Amino acid sequence: MKKINIGLLIITLVCSFFTIIGELDKGIVIILKDSSIVLTATLPYIVNKLFKVKLNDGVIFVWLIFIFLAHYMGVTAEFYNKWEGFDKVVHTFSGVLTAYVGMLFLPKGVYIWFKILFIIAFSWMCAGLWETFEFVCNILFGGDAQRVAATGVTDTMLDMIVAFIGASLFSLGFYVKEKLKN
């Protein structure tokens, strides 16, 4: 799994590098936007080093896939603007990702239904925090990442709903796995 993660990291960074080189004439904001993927893609490794934590290889794998989809393909390659449904695919996947992370925080010895409720609640909280972050960035820096001008609150609500669906699908798989263990 470590080799796969390193391969994904290299692919993401190489794609970003060529994108940055191709857009050097577009100004500092575009270069910073494209360059920020270096920080987001390497974040698990930075967290491991700075905080002396050992992040699960599965978490790193899902993170790198998410960053490649959301940051590189969505923002840098502009799939959010090119494909209408891409945003919903990424937000669904974010529901799965945050559900997986929520599962890692589960206390031992609690009932399966509490575990499922916790996983879904954790994921939904992350979706709400993300949408709040987008809203604050829109206010501070202008822009319309939440597409409020075009959709009102529909885009934000659909983002949270598909994240909930992703977390629910993850929880269903978690439930089946737990029941098969016992």
Q: Cα separation of 69 and 156, whole Å? A: 19
Same domain assignment for residues 79 and 91: no
pLDDT at 175: 94
Same domain assignment for residues 111 and 76: no
Give the end of a domain, one of 33, 55, 83: 83
pLDDT at 145: 64
pLDDT at 74: 86
pLDDT at 30: 73
Q: Cα separation of 124 and 117, whole Å? A: 10
Which residues neighbour 4 within 8 Å (Cβ) at sequence distance 6 or greater? 61
pLDDT digits (tens, 9 = 90+) for 102-126: 998 888 888 999 999 999 999 999 9
What domain count does the chain have? 2
pLDDT at 120: 96
Query: Does the pTM exceed 0.75?
Result: yes
Query: What parts of the chain have a pLDDT lower than 50?
Result: none
Same domain assignment for residues 63 and 99: no
Range of the domain at 68: 1-83
Confirm if 98 and 127 have CB atoms less than 8 A apart.
Answer: yes
pLDDT digits (tens, 9 = 90+) for 132-149: 887 887 777 776 666 666
Question: Tokens representing 3?
Answer: 């080799």
Same domain assignment for residues 54 and 90: no
Same domain assignment for residues 165 and 102: yes
Nearest to 104 by CA among 92, 119, 91, 89: 119
pLDDT at 161: 94
Give the end of a domain, one of 83, 107, 137: 83
Same domain assignment for residues 91 and 176: yes
Token pair 């934590």 in the structure block, residue: 53
Q: Cα separation of 132 and 122, whole Å? A: 15
Same domain assignment for residues 105 and 139: yes
